[in-house]
């Protein structure tokens, strides 16, 4: 899977984190396909309504764990309502600025979450994990 076929969807309620992580992703030259949302349900709705845009890509969904309205786990639950054959092209990571042991344990118990990553994002770790899990 090449970088041209990588799409990153960043969901975070903190505008500064979105700017910083988007800049890190762009500086690392991982992909030109970066989307960001400050609201989880809105992100899932846009993905749902534009599914053909995601076909043929390795889609990396980065969900902030702690968001005020709908947190990353609740957003994941909404995402998991999408058809399974569509979701198979998504690799899901949770983001956290403070690694709370209970969040890590909850994420580790979810078979759809690859890993909890600390902010600011380590883009090279993300790339390694996303591509290592591209065929799982």
Domain ranges of the chain: 3-132
Q: pLDDT tens across 12-29, in order?
A: 999 999 999 999 999 999
DSSP, collapsed to helix, strand or coil, labels residue 7 as: strand
End-to-end CA gap in the chain: 13
Q: pLDDT tens across 93-111, in order?
A: 999 987 678 888 898 899 9
Average pLDDT in the 38-55 region?
Answer: 97
Q: Provide the whole-model pTM.
A: 0.93
At residue 2, the pLDDT reads: 56
What residues have CB less than 8 Å from 115, skipping those under 6 apart?
A: 93, 94, 107, 129
Top CATH class of 3-132 equals: alpha beta
């Amino acid at each position: 899977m090449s970088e041209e076929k990588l799409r990153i969807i960043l969901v975070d309620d903190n505008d500064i984190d979105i700017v910083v992580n988007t800049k890190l992703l762009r500086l690392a030259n991982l992909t030109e396909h970066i989307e960001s949302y400050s609201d989880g349900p809105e992100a899932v709705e846009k993905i749902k309504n534009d599914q053909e845009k995601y076909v043929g890509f390795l889609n990396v969904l980065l969900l902030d764990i702690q968001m005020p309205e709908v947190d990353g786990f609740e957003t994941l639950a909404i995402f998991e309502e999408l058809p399974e054959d569509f979701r198979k092209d998504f690799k899901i990571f949770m983001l956290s600025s403070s690694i709370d042991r209970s969040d890590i344990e909850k994420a580790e118990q979810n078979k759809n979450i690859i890993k909890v990553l600390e902010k600011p994002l380590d883009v090279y770790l993300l790339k390694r994990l996303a591509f290592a899990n591209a065929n799982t």
